[in-house]
Chain A
C-alpha cells in the first residue's frame, strides 16, 4: 500500500475529501454571514439555528408531507428565507442604528428559541435521513472510493457560492448591493429602495444557511443542536477570512476545511482546535482578517 509520511494514501485522500466537505459547509455558511454583515452590520448569531431549521424542514417534509429531497432542496431555503424576512421586518430593522451588540444579542436569543422549539417538538436525538437514490453509491477513482453524495455537497456548495459571487460582483443588482453596503443613505437618495434590499439580503443570507442545512441532512444526524456545534467554527472562519468579504469567506471556508481534515491525519489531537489556533495567529498579524479591509 502506498504511504505518504507514513499515512496510507487512502486515509489521506479520505480526510482530504472530508475536509473539503466540511469546508463547503463553512464556505456557504460564512458567505451568508458575510453578505448579512456587509449589508446590515449585524453579526447573525441565529445563522446556525437557521441552518438546523433547513435540515429539520427537510426531514419534516419527508416524514410528514412525503416531499422528497430534491423538492426540499428548493423549498427549505425559501422557507428559511421567509422566516428570515419576518425576523428582519419585525425585529432586526429596529436595531440598525444601535451598537453591533444589540443585533448580536437578539439573534443569539432567537437561536436559543429556535433550538428550544425543535428540541421541545422532536427531542435532542438525531433523526436519520437517507441519501437520495440518485446520489447513493460511490465513484471508484482507482486510488480511493468517492461517495457520490460527498461529491454532490462540494459541487452544489461551490456552485451556489460562485453564483452568489457572480451576482454581487458582476451584475447591476450586485452594484446596487455593493453601493448600499458602502453608503446606504446616498444610495437611497439616488432612488434605490435600500430598506427593501436590506430585507431581501437578510432573507437570502439565511436562505443560504437553509440550503446548507438541506445538503447536510443526509450526511449527518439531524438534530436541534447540529447548528450550534458547527457555527462556532464558522464564526472562527469568518474572523480569519475577514468580515464582509465575499470571496474571502469562500476561500477561507474551503481552506480551513482542508487544513482541519489534514490535521486529523497528521495530528489528530489538534484537529478540533486547529481552526482556533489559526484564528489567534491571524488576529495577531491581520486584525481585520486575511481578506478584510481595515475600517
Chain B
C-alpha cells in the first residue's frame, strides 16, 4: 500500500437480499484525490458507495480505509473514521428544520467547517434555517446535503449524483464548491451520470458496468480514450 492511498476497494461483492449487485469492484483513491465512478443506471455505482458505508446487504471482499479494514464494521463506526455521505435521494429529514439537518451529523474528525463558514458558502441555507428540511427547493436540499457533511470534519466525501435534476446555475455552483474542496485536500468520490460535470473535476475516472470497474481513465487521457467513453457511456 502506498503512503498516500486513502481508500482501497478490492474484490468487493455486495448483495441486496438474493440479488448480487457488485461483482468484484476494484479501485483505489489517493489522499486528496477526486475520482469519479461513471456508468449507466444500475451499473452499481450507488451500490458501491452504499457498500463502502455498510448500507447494503451482505458484502465480501475488502475495503481498506486509511490502512484499516472496515468491511466488518457497522455503518456508524465507518462514518466515525471520517467518511461523509451525500446520498442520491439527498436524505433531508422532514422531521428536522434546515438548521437541525445541518447540525445533525456528529463530528467525525478535526478541521470541519464552522456553521458561519457554511452559511457564507451557502447563503440560502441561512435564510431558510428555520424551515422544515423538506420544504426547501431541490437545489437548496442538495446544498444542505453537501453542507451537512462539510461540518463534521469528514475527509472522504461520497457524493452521489449531486448534479442530478438541478438548474445549470446550481450545478455550476456545486462544481465550484467541489473545486474548493479539492484545494482543501478533501478526498472525493463522485458518482455521476453527467459526464460533463465530472470530467473537469475528476483526477481519474472509473467506468463501471455490471458491478465491476471496466476501465480507468486519467484526466490527461480523456481525449485519447474518447472511444471508450463513447462505447460505455455514449458521450
By a beta-carbon cutoff of 8 Å, the part of chain A in contact with chain B is 172, 175-176, 178-179, 181-183, 185-195
Q: A182-B93, A185-B55, A191-B108 are in contact. Are A175 and B103 (CB under 8 A)?
A: yes
Residues of chain B in range 52-66 having any CB-CB distance to chain A below 8 Å: 53-55
Contact A179 B96 (CB under 8 A): yes
Question: Given B53, B55, B93, which contacts A179 in the complex, CB threshold below 8 Å?
Answer: B93
Q: Report yes or no: A189 in contact with B100, Cβ–Cβ below 8 A.
A: no
B91 touches A176 (CB 8 A): no
Contact of A178 among B53, B76, B95, B105 (CB under 8 A): B95
* Least distance between A293 CB and chain B CB atoms (Å): 9
Least Cβ–Cβ distance between B174 and chain A, in angstroms: 20
A183 CB contacts on chain B under 8 angstroms: 91, 93
A189 touches B104 (CB 8 A): no
Contact pick for A182, options B75, B76, B94, B149, CB 8 Å? B94
B53 A175 Cβ-Cβ under 8 A: no
Pairs A-B, 8 closest by C-beta atoms: A191-B79, A190-B105, A178-B95, A188-B75, A186-B91, A191-B80, A189-B75, A189-B53
Q: Which residues of A contact B85 (CB under 8 A)?
A: 186, 189-190
In the complex, what's the smallest C-beta–C-beta distance from B76 to chain A, in angstroms? 5
User: How close is B212's CB to chain A, nearest CB, in angstroms?
Assistant: 24
With a cutoff of 8 Å between Cβ atoms, the chain B residues found around residue A172 in the complex are 103
* Residue total for B at the interface (Cβ-Cβ under 8 A): 24
Is the Cβ of B104 less than 8 Å from the Cβ of A191? no
Q: In whole angstroms, how far apart are the Cα atoms of A185 and B149 in the complex?
A: 16
Question: Which residues in B have some Cβ–Cβ distance to A below 8 Å?
Answer: 53-55, 74-76, 78-80, 85, 87, 91, 93-96, 100, 103-106, 108, 149, 152
User: Mind listing 13 A-B residue pairs with CB under 8 Å?
Assistant: A175-B103, A178-B95, A178-B96, A179-B104, A181-B95, A182-B94, A182-B96, A185-B75, A189-B53, A191-B79, A191-B108, A192-B106, A195-B74
User: Which residues of chain B are within 8 angstroms of A178 by Cβ–Cβ distance?
Assistant: 93, 95-96
**Which of A178, A183, A191 has the most C-beta atoms of chain B within 10 angstroms of its own C-beta?**
A191
Q: Smallest distance from the beta carbon of B71 to chain A beta carbons, Å?
A: 15
11 other A-B residue contacts (CB within 8 Å) besides A178-B93, A179-B104? A172-B103, A178-B96, A189-B54, A189-B78, A190-B76, A190-B85, A190-B149, A191-B76, A191-B108, A191-B152, A192-B76
Question: DSSP class of A's interface residues: helix, strand, loop or mixed?
Answer: helix
Contact B76 A188 (CB under 8 A): yes
Best-surrounded residue of B75, B96, B105 (most CB of chain A within 10 A): B75
Q: How far is the CA of A186 from the CA of B79 in the complex (A)?
A: 11
Docked-complex contact A190 and B103, CB < 8 angstroms: no
Residues of A contacting B152 in the complex (Cβ-Cβ under 8 angstroms): 190-191
Nearest A residue to B80 via CB reads: A191
Q: Is A193's CB under 8 angstroms from B87's CB?
A: no
Does the CB pair B95–A190 fall under 8 Å? no
